[in-house]
Structure 1
Amino acid sequence: MNLKYDSDEQIIYVMKADGSKEVLEAEFPSEPVTSPDKTKAVYIAPLEWERLGSLYLYDLLTGENKELIKPDDKHHIPKKVIWLDNHNLAVIIGFGYGTVAIGGNVFVYNLDTEQKKPLTEYDQRTQVTNIVFKDGVLELEGIRYIDDTFNEFERFEEKIKLSHADGEVQIAT
């Protein structure tokens, strides 16, 4: 099986071996991101302004779709996800409502343990808005609000070197 994202319609389709397709997600999903070994894909749905979405894992071999991270009781939601390896995801999680909550903090979610742990612990004034992983380094882009009314901000970039120990991803020392 394979997933196809229709950006115009904002729909994820499951493409079957016989050439047919069926709708997997039609409620404003993000584009699916495939694991390095091409056996799984992750996506967020809905990924829409002031909608509380969840992070899902779709198994491309079995067709199982599983909710990994849902909105918490403080309305924090996943906003972006990337693969670090076949077992770990980096996820931006932040407040789901308002015009100033465009990013959040970065967490590592381990698929084997089903646990998430923070990589960043910024206050609400500092928010990561994009993440890229290459050569063992997680590159962060974000904003820092510089006024009391959260109207003015400056952009920032940060790099975090990661390492693996016993299947867990952590900040390299």
Structure 2
Amino acid sequence: MYKISYQKENHNLTLEISELKYVLESSSEPELSPNKDYVAIITPFEWECQGEIRLINLKTGSSKRTELNLNANLTPKHVIWKNANTLFVLIGSNWGTVDIGGHLYSYNIDYNELTLLKKFDDTIQIQEIQKENDNLLILRGIKYIDDNFNESEPYSTHYTL
């Protein structure tokens, strides 16, 4: 059995599995796999810091780092599960205050395969993925509306699977 608690305001994750206790001070919100065997997290989850996706097995307590093989300028920004073997991941720039979102990828955890699904124009910064159903993702973020990337408005689109 496991217990998860997450403090969104300071990105602290506490995960207790049998006799093991993980305390991560810089983690994204944990995403529970559909079969409830794993949680996926991005850690460290900080501004201008390259994170990695970790999968924590909720039965054994073991932790596995995914093999995204990103260059030093890129980092995962958001992650959700597609199914028990595949993640949807937003990957974007590590640096700056303009590039706050990312492009949409899928990542197969069994084969370590990262696939670009949708690339966005520089004026669009996708920050959140929501699985509407098995065939549709809702992607949310901002769209810059000036040439200096100072002013923005909320942006939402969908991606059909």
Report the TM-score, using the length of structure 1 for normalisation.
0.81
Q: How does 1:14-33 map to 2 (within 5 A)?
A: 14-17=15-18, 20-26=19-25, 28-33=26-31
Moved >6 Å (runs of 4+):
none
The answer on 1:157 being equivalent to 2:156 is yes
Match runs of 1:1-173 below 5 Å: 1-7=1-7, 10-17=11-18, 20-26=19-25, 28-69=26-67, 72-135=70-133, 136-162=135-161
Deviations 1:16-59 (A, max 9, x none): 33xx5522423x11121110110011001111122221111111
Structure showing greater radius of gyration is 1
Aligned equivalents of 1:5, 1:75: Cα separation in 2: 31
DSSP 3-state at the match of 1:51:
coil
TM-score by length of 2: 0.87
Tell me: CA distance 1:24–1:66, structure 2 relative to 1, closer, same or farther (3 Å).
Answer: farther
Contact 1:55 1:68 in 2 (8 A): yes
Helix, strand or coil at the partner of 2:83: coil
Structure 1: segments with no counterpart, 5+ residues: 163-173
Q: Identify the range of structure 1 (152-161 vs 44-53) with the bigger mean alpha-carbon deviation.
A: 152-161
Amino acid at match of 2:5: Y
Equivalent pairs: percent with the same residue? Answer: 33
Contact preservation (8 Å) 1:91, 1:109: yes
Amino acid at match of 1:123: D
Structure 1 vs Structure 2 CA RMSD: 2.0
Report the residue type matching 2:76 in the other structure.
P
